[in-house]
Every structure is written in structure tokens, then in C-alpha cells.
A and B are shown apart, each in its own frame.
Chain A
């Protein structure tokens, strides 16, 4: 069945360093790849997303890259800050199917 693998499961970085989280999806029909941030005790919230017709998207300190051939996509956070500490989820979806497959989550800790 459809699957999204996410690595690493935990990531600790020093404040100001960059963080990279990687996901691999199995279904080549997937064409929408969102990233969600979930702070402790809160709901997941979208931070950035990318569609399959684009290879890279950037929004201030966060960026997402997509390699359709390899079925990989990655989240890049630069100049990390303590408030970036949270659990991050990748997901894969495709239009018209109502299916959303989430990765297993990455707990990011930014050390001050």
C-alpha cells in the first residue's frame, strides 16, 4: 500500500544551525507534498507545501525540495530558533482521492 517514510525520527541542532528532514513516498501518483508543524499539545499546522510541477519552494527560513524521479522530498530550515522546536510531519497526497498519507514525524529540538 501507499507509504511515506520520514527520517530522522529525532533531530537536535544548535540554535542558528540548519535542519533537514527527509521523506520518501511510494506512490508515484502523489502530486502534493505538505509539511506540518505540531507544537506540544497543539494541532498540526501547515508550514509549507509543494506540488509536483515545482522542484523547490521557499518561504523565508523554510524551503522544500522535491525529486520526483527518486520520490524524495525534504524540508530545510535555516537559522533555526528555539521556537522551531516541534514535531514535523511530511505527507503525500494526490488530487481527487481524499487520501493523505503522513510520515511518522520528526521531533526537532533546537538547543539555545
Chain B
């Protein structure tokens, strides 16, 4: 049973194009995230959503627009792709709320390797 799934696994596209990555979790979690992992393997949070509401936007260019149709899905749309957008994008989820006393484990999707030519 796949807990957090992403599609597509690989995405190769030309500069200037628009593309989307989809993410779904079946863990019943309230919070979902998008991370970018660059070629140096740094994991940087981009967005976090709780119950479909945007909670964190870590100074990501507005070419990146997340959308959460329901709490089990968090999609990422990228406009006008640039060479520097090439990376692996990970979706994650956790059971987090404003009432959480401690942080919680994050469950990652398999990643989407985006290559912009």
C-alpha cells in the first residue's frame, strides 16, 4: 500500500514550459509539504498545507503555485520553467496541527525528478 505517491516520477521539459506534479497521501494526515532537493542533496521546504490551507511559503518564486483540492492531495504547478528549477521534488505528509506538542514524523513520496533543458 503506497502511503504517499507522486506523479510523474520523471519530468523532462523545455525552458519556458508549464508543468504540474501531483501528490496524494492515504495516511489520513492533515498536513502536506513540498520539498526541493537540489544536486547537492539539500532538502529545502517550499510549502506546507494544513487542511487545504497554506501555512508556510518559504520565499518560493510565484511561478510555483501549490493547490490542495482536499487534505489528501497537494499538487504543484510550475510556470515558465527555468534551468534552475531542475531538481528532485518531494511531497511529504505528517499528522501535525496547532495543538501538536511535539513535531511528528514526515512521510515522503518517491520524488519527481524534474529536468529543464
Binding site for B on A (CB under 8 A): 31-32, 34, 38, 42-46, 49, 51-52, 87, 89, 93-102, 104-105, 107
Contact = CB atoms under 8 A, between A and B. Distances in A.
Contacts of A45: 108
B73 to A, nearest CB: 17
A102 B36 CA distance: 12
B101 A89 contact: no
Nearest to A95: B100
Contacts of A89: 43
A44 B88 CA distance: 12
Contact of B43 (A34, A44, A46, A97): A44
Contact of A94 (B31, B33, B103): B103
Nearest to B45: A100
Interface in B67-117: 90, 96-106, 108-111
Interface of B: 31, 33, 40-45, 48, 50, 55-56, 90, 96-106, 108-111
Most buried by B among A45, A52, A87, A102: A102
A43 B90 contact: yes
A56 to B, nearest CB: 17
Given A32-B103, A104-B42, A96 B108 contact: no
A52 B102 CA distance: 9
A105 B43 contact: yes
A22 to B, nearest CB: 18
Contacts of A107: 41
Contact of A31 (B33, B103, B110): B103
B102 A95 contact: yes
B56 A43 contact: no
Given A95-B103, A96-B100, A99-B56, 13 more contacts: A31-B103, A44-B43, A93-B102, A94-B103, A95-B96, A95-B102, A95-B104, A96-B96, A96-B101, A99-B45, A100-B45, A100-B106, A105-B42
By Cβ-Cβ distance, the 9 closest A-B pairs, closest first, are: A93-B103, A32-B103, A95-B100, A43-B108, A102-B43, A98-B48, A32-B102, A95-B101, A98-B55
Contacts of B55: 98
